[in-house]
Amino acid sequence: MKKRWKRFEGYVYIAPWLFGFFALQLYPLVVSFIYSFTDFSMLKEPHYIGLKNYIQAFTNDPYFFKSLGVTFMYVLYALPGKLVFALIIAVILNQKIRGIGIFRTLYYLPSILGGSVAVSILWRFIFMKDGMLNNILGVFGFEAFDWIGNPATSLFIVALLQIWQFGSSMVLFLAGLKNISPEVIESARIDGAGALQRFFRITLPLLSPIILFNFVMQMIQLFQDFSAAFVITPNGGPLKKTYLYGMMLYQNGFQFFKMGYASAQSWVLFVIIITITGCIFAFSRKLVHYEDE
Amino acid sequence: MNKKTNRRKLFIYLFLILLAVVMVYPLVYLFFASFKPNDEIFGSASLLPKKWVLDSYKIGWRGSGQFTYGRFLLNTCRMVVPTVVFTVISSLWVGYGFARFDFPLKKFWFYVMIGTMMLPSTVIIIPRYILFKNLGWIDTYLPFIVPAVFAGYPFFVYMVIQFMRSIPRELDEAAKIDGCSSFRIWTDVMIPLCKPAIFSVIIFQSMWTWNDFFNSLVYINSVRKYPVSLALRMNLDSASRVEWNTILAMSLVCIIPCTVLFFVAQQYFVDGIVAGSIKG
Amino acid sequence: MANRRFKQIVAFGLALTMTAGMGAAAAYADDGENIVLRFSWWGAEARHEKTLAAFERYHELHPNITIEGEYSSIDTYYQKLVTQFAGGTAPDIIQIDQPWIEDFAMQGQLLEDLNDYTDIIDMSTYDADYLAGWCMNGDRLEALPLGLNGYTTMYNKKALEAAGIEIDSSTELTWDDILTLGEQYKEANPDGIFLHTDPNTLEKNIFRPYVIQQYGGYFLNPDFTIGFTRESLINAYNYLIELSDRGIIQPLNETATFDGKIDQNPVWVNGQAALCIRWVSDLQQLLNDNVDIGVCRIPVNEGAAETGINCKPSMVATIYTGSEHKKEAAEFINWMVNDEEATTILADCRGVPPTERQRTQLQEAGMLNAAMAEGISIAVANAGTPQNGLSDNAEVTAISLDIIARVLYKQISPEDAADEMIQRTEEKLETLKNS
């Protein structure tokens, strides 16, 4: 009897989440799924229209695939950039050096600023035609270049804002590094492993759960993010080169009164993200090392 | 040997300082911009103001005239502190359940939890608004706090899971043999070892709730209850003259609390070494 | 030690939580006699202060009525309002932008018919045609204007003087003048830009008047057909290409960053730009140390069918159908627009006021911005067809903007652009018609 109960002990701990899920989260999710089969405009009674929204997205929407492509590129620019940068800096900052706390705080500052309106002014000033970057490059004889306005570079500049705010990933890596006991690394050093070897053989595997976590979470967030693009190029830029998926959803839902359509597009994105995440989880089984296994 | 470490240290310092300049120069730029008149903020790329405007902080602090930023900062704290406290407790509790127990449907619930993060919030806003309205939560901070009580932020639960899974199981096995209940293992073994994770939760959740604009926008009506994220945009208008120095000034003032919190909390990461060495 | 502090923090947090949850319910509690009205608007500090002062005065006059202001910035005002409509929690009195009347009308009856309140609100002070042209949803009068607006050409006196170009408030420019004067300006000031734009201005204030002037009438007809013709579109696209190729306007690349923030573009801030065609209400925002603004009529070619000048109200007051205090809300609106004291308190914080009485009062007191008043009177004297809300449909505007961008990037010919504009607009109109 007691043993059977034991099997369910975990439920005691996940119960609050389960309750919250059924009471607060399930209803909006289900409703948005139902809306995706209707012409819901937000204010009027929705009517069932079958798969029309989904068909429309795939066959008759000039922005759907374009925006999807932009979003994939955005994730491809920002995700590796942000994580690799954060990891390298975290490893450097994970040392006993005087004043290291100041450096950590300084590097974290841009993340705290978030999507504030101040950032939009700032980013324009760095990258516009008479901006700071061109002033510096001008010293070396480069011609002034319109980084934000030029369709070839605008998306990258938006991604750069994300990379600049690498602070939160860095903090997670720092926290993870603190969980690696120095003795393990020390004993490897005594065994004659070089710094690079120690990093790849010891630090990286022991940090792999946090790397996986950072990777998955950042990816989920980047696929939906549009705040960074919104402050720099409010309408997706001149040729929609920064027209991120999240921005399209927002426009369809709140500006064009097509909430049903936006719901359908959201569920398409949901399927995309969950498929990629599933693949990453399956793939990670070989790469991620857990201490509890 | 000593010479070599010194040179290495020098190199690291140089690198850190160089990077710090790149990272922080934009913020320094913003700081000086908060002393410039509009013409200079938008018209020139020079760092220092030609004409110093010294009252931007004083004027900015006045807010809307009806309420000052003192009020908005206090409101933000009333929203952020409970949200953070409950997030820490609930994520540790639920994360422990996922990390250390085997139970039927565990994988399923885990994927459901991660899945709730994958649907863009744009399309959930309306049904959630209607739900919260029926619960009577509009114009209160409850839409932030109650989900925190029920571990409604999967990011943190998953984070705690990952941290707990990198703690060797021998530790709780040993405690179990000593006759500890699972609750005692949670309080006496897991929580102390999860300190870096706890501080990460505190840092992130305070920063995110502090900066959260879209949810505050939807749920908070009364200006008297505005958090800073709403207050900062309160005076932006496309058709009226906006003194940008006051807005930049307040943007900078409003990052101070999170910065101080981070500076204090990051020192605890160093403490983590002590905690981590228990297992050695 | 750390543990104890941690526990203290937890206790402190719990205590705060308790207080945070309370006080919420108390805010809107009426006890029958004391009524709380909610009034929402967008704006900047000056408007907030004056409106709040008006509430205070009204409370002194009517001690049982308290008005709570819910003010924010324009950029997310719309989203918030729509969410509140969906939840049935919108404020009693709502300031909205004129085109939204039709937006909301398509979504059901959200705004009260003010014809039912003629015994409370004295509307004789308003121009009846103006109300009929701008505030009706079918035969329902759903809004009262709070300020006047209209397209105008704003010129920077300093920049023009330096280039030796003379324009004054009586100048009647043509679109061809813009090209010739623009080249003249460019010679005098090679780094300058004659016509200052952003993508949105290009579409709304240049492209559309240019199109409409060719045939006269609506951009989109009320019966869900297009008003513009293929030819009028092609001519307009060609004109935009001309402006862009000759360097009269800044390349789209550079202005896109300042979309909706035309006053923040260094070209304008540093006084390098000469003209800007915009709403009169933008005037104060466009002023700075390097810019001294004069106004004149927007460019119209000779022999044009009409001027295409939009003279819509800058913002309007409405009453929410879900309000529990509609009568009191109407009483306050009446006081706000018709009381002399209210006019003194509010002054021109919502632009040039809509009624003759308010304007004379403010003008006599010297409280009305002269350039703005002049801009309005020029616009009104030359007003074109009152464009309907349908023409301002957000999605049609987005389509049009996208096509203009591709035309200027030479990705599509003006002819193909016109065909695409017609096809996609008609498609959208079809869905609007059927909904």
Is B55 in the C-facing interface, judged by CB distances under 8 Å? Answer: no
Based on its alpha-carbon atoms, the radius of gyration of chain B, rounded to whole angstroms, reads 23
CA B22 to chain CA centroid, nearest Å: 23
Task: Tell me the β-bridge partners of A48.
Answer: A38
Query: What domains lie within chain C, and their CATH numbers?
Result: 31-147+313-380 (3.40.190.10), 151-309+393-434 (3.40.190.10)
* Arithmetic mean of pLDDT, C333-347: 95
- Report phi then psi at B275, rounded to 5: -60, -40
Selected residues 307-366 of chain C with any CB under 8 Å from a CB in chain B: 314, 351
**For residue B237, what are its two tokens?**
């208008």
Question: Residue C429: what pLDDT?
Answer: 95
Residue numbers in A near C256 (CB within 8 A) = 148-149, 233, 235, 237-238
Residue numbers in C near A232 (CB within 8 A) = 257
- Amino acid in the structure at residue B270: V
* Arithmetic mean of pLDDT, C25-29: 42
> Measured between alpha carbons, how far is C318 from C94 in angstroms, rounded to an integer?
5
Chain C residue at shortest CA distance from B59: C45
Query: pLDDT (tens digit, 9 = 90+) per residue, C130-180?
Result: 999 899 988 999 999 999 999 999 999 999 999 999 999 999 999 999 999
Query: pLDDT (tens digit, 9 = 90+) per residue, C146-159?
Result: 999 999 999 999 99
- Amino acid in the structure at residue B180: C
Q: Is the pLDDT of residue C424 over 70?
A: yes
Length of chain A: 293
Domain residue limits, chain A:
1-30, 36-115+163-287
Of C207, C227, C231, C226, residue with least CA distance to C216: C227
* Arithmetic mean of pLDDT, C62-67: 94
Q: Is the pLDDT of residue A117 over 80?
A: no
Question: Residue B168: what pLDDT?
Answer: 85
Of B145, A268, A252, residue with least CA distance to C82: A252
Selected residues 247-276 of chain C with any CB under 8 Å from a CB in chain A: 251-260, 264, 266
Q: Do C282 and B130 make contact, defined as CB atoms within 8 angstroms?
A: no
CA distances from A39 to A32, A114, A165, C144 (A): 12, 35, 38, 32
Min Cα distance B231 → chain A (Å) is 12
Q: Do B239 and C281 make contact, defined as CB atoms within 8 angstroms?
A: yes
Q: Is the pLDDT of residue A231 over 90?
A: no
Q: Which of B45, B122, B165 is the closest to A262 by Cβ? A: B122
What percent of chain C stands above pLDDT 90? 73
Q: Is the pLDDT of residue C403 over 60?
A: yes
What CATH number has the domain spanning A36-115+163-287?
1.10.3720.10
Q: Which of B142, B221, B238 is the closest to C260 by Cβ? A: B238
Selected residues 162-181 of chain C with any CB under 8 Å from a CB in chain B: none
Q: Comparing A163-167, A285-289, B66-70, C28-32, which segment has the lowest mean pLDDT?
A: C28-32
Is B226 in the A-facing interface, judged by CB distances under 8 Å? Answer: no
**For residue C210, what are its two tokens?**
């240019």
Chain C residue at shortest CA distance from B142: C21
Question: What is the residue-averaged pLDDT of chain A?
Answer: 88
For residue C321, name the pLDDT band (cuts at 50, 70, 90): very high
Locate tokens 């009693």: which residue?
Answer: C92
> Measured between alpha carbons, how far is C348 from B263 in angstroms, rounded to an integer?
47
Chain A residue at shortest CA distance from B194: A179
Min Cα distance B66 → chain A (Å) is 22
* Arithmetic mean of pLDDT, B12-26: 89
CA C25 to chain CA centroid, nearest Å: 35
Q: Is the ipTM of this complex over 0.95?
A: no
Cβ pairs A/C, distance under 8 A: 80
Is B275 in the C-facing interface, judged by CB distances under 8 Å? Answer: no
> Measured between alpha carbons, how far is A67 from A242 in angstroms, rounded to an integer?
8
More confident residue, B65 or A168: A168
For residue B2, name the pLDDT band (cuts at 50, 70, 90): low
Chain B residue at shortest CA distance from A92: B12
Q: For residue C296, what is the enclosing H or E element? A: strand C293-296
> Measured between alpha carbons, how far is C274 from C417 in angstroms, rounded to an integer?
30
Full 3-state SS string of A165-195? CCHHHHHHHHHHHHCCCHHHHHHHHHCCCCH
Is B180 in the C-facing interface, judged by CB distances under 8 Å? Answer: no
Test the A interface: residue of C253, C320, C400, C430 with most A CBs within 10 Å: C253
**Number of alpha carbons in the 13 Å side-chain half-sphere of residue B219:** 27
- Amino acid in the structure at residue B79: M
Is A233 in the C-facing interface, judged by CB distances under 8 Å? Answer: yes
Task: Tell me the β-bridge partners of C71.
Answer: C41
Q: Do C79 and A254 make contact, defined as CB atoms within 8 angstroms?
A: yes
Burial class of residue A223, CB neighbours in 10 A (0-12, 13-18, 19+): buried
Query: pLDDT (tens digit, 9 = 90+) per residue, B24-43?
Result: 888 898 999 999 998 888 88
- Report phi then psi at A37, rounded to 5: -105, 15
For residue A235, name the pLDDT band (cuts at 50, 70, 90): confident
Is C301 in the B-facing interface, judged by CB distances under 8 Å? Answer: no
- pLDDT winner (highest mean) among A181-185, B92-96, C124-128: B92-96
Min Cα distance A215 → chain B (Å) is 12
Chain B residue at shortest CA distance from C278: B239
Query: pLDDT (tens digit, 9 = 90+) per residue, B204-225?
Result: 999 999 999 889 999 999 999 9
Question: Residue B270: what pLDDT?
Answer: 55
Length of chain C: 435
Q: Is the pLDDT of residue C1 over 60?
A: no
- Amino acid in the structure at residue C232: S
- Amino acid in the structure at residue B167: I
Judged by DSSP in three states, C150 sits in coil
Query: pLDDT (tens digit, 9 = 90+) per residue, B182-202?
Result: 999 999 989 988 888 899 999
> Measured between alpha carbons, how far is A281 from B110 in angstroms, rounded to an integer?
12
Residue numbers in A near C254 (CB within 8 A) = 128-129, 146, 149
Please report, to the nearest 10 degrees, the dihedral formed by the alpha carbons of residues B129, B131, B135, B137 taken in order: -20
Task: Confirm if A91 and A172 have CB atoms less than 8 A apart.
Answer: no
Locate tokens 């202001």: which residue?
Answer: C69
**Number of alpha carbons in the 13 Å side-chain half-sphere of residue C382:** 26
For residue A148, name the pLDDT band (cuts at 50, 70, 90): confident
Is B12 in the A-facing interface, judged by CB distances under 8 Å? Answer: yes
Cβ pairs A/B, distance under 8 A: 275
Query: pLDDT (tens digit, 9 = 90+) per residue, C80-112?
Result: 999 999 999 999 999 999 989 988 888 888 999
Query: What domains lie within chain B, and their CATH numbers?
Result: 64-279 (1.10.3720.10)
Residue numbers in C near B145 (CB within 8 A) = 17, 20-21
Question: Residue C15: what pLDDT?
Answer: 45
> Measured between alpha carbons, how far is C213 from C239 in angstroms, rounded to an integer?
13
Residue numbers in A near C85 (CB within 8 A) = 42-43
Give C390's DSSP letter. Answer: G
Selected residues 65-104 of chain C with any CB under 8 Å from a CB in chain A: 78-79, 82, 85-86, 103-104
Q: Comparing A73-82, A115-124, C257-266, C369-378, which segment has the lowest mean pLDDT?
A: A115-124
Cβ pairs B/C, distance under 8 A: 156
Task: Confirm if A92 and B15 have CB atoms less than 8 A apart.
Answer: yes
- Neighbour tally for C230: CB within 10 Å: 13
Question: Which chains are adjacent to chain C, needing at least 3 Cβ pairs under 8 Å?
Answer: A, B
* Arithmetic mean of pLDDT, C328-357: 94
What percent of chain A stands above pLDDT 90? 46
Is B122 in the A-facing interface, judged by CB distances under 8 Å? Answer: yes
Is C110 in the A-facing interface, judged by CB distances under 8 Å? Answer: yes
Q: Do B266 and A17 make contact, defined as CB atoms within 8 angstroms?
A: no
Task: Confirm if B200 and A175 have CB atoms less than 8 A apart.
Answer: yes
Question: What is the residue-averaged pLDDT of chain C?
Answer: 89
Residue numbers in A near B101 (CB within 8 A) = 9-10, 13
Residue numbers in B near C79 (CB within 8 A) = 217-218
Q: Is the pLDDT of residue B50 over 50?
A: yes
Task: Confirm if C267 and C250 have CB atoms less than 8 A apart.
Answer: yes
* Arithmetic mean of pLDDT, C319-338: 95
What percent of chain B stands above pLDDT 70? 95
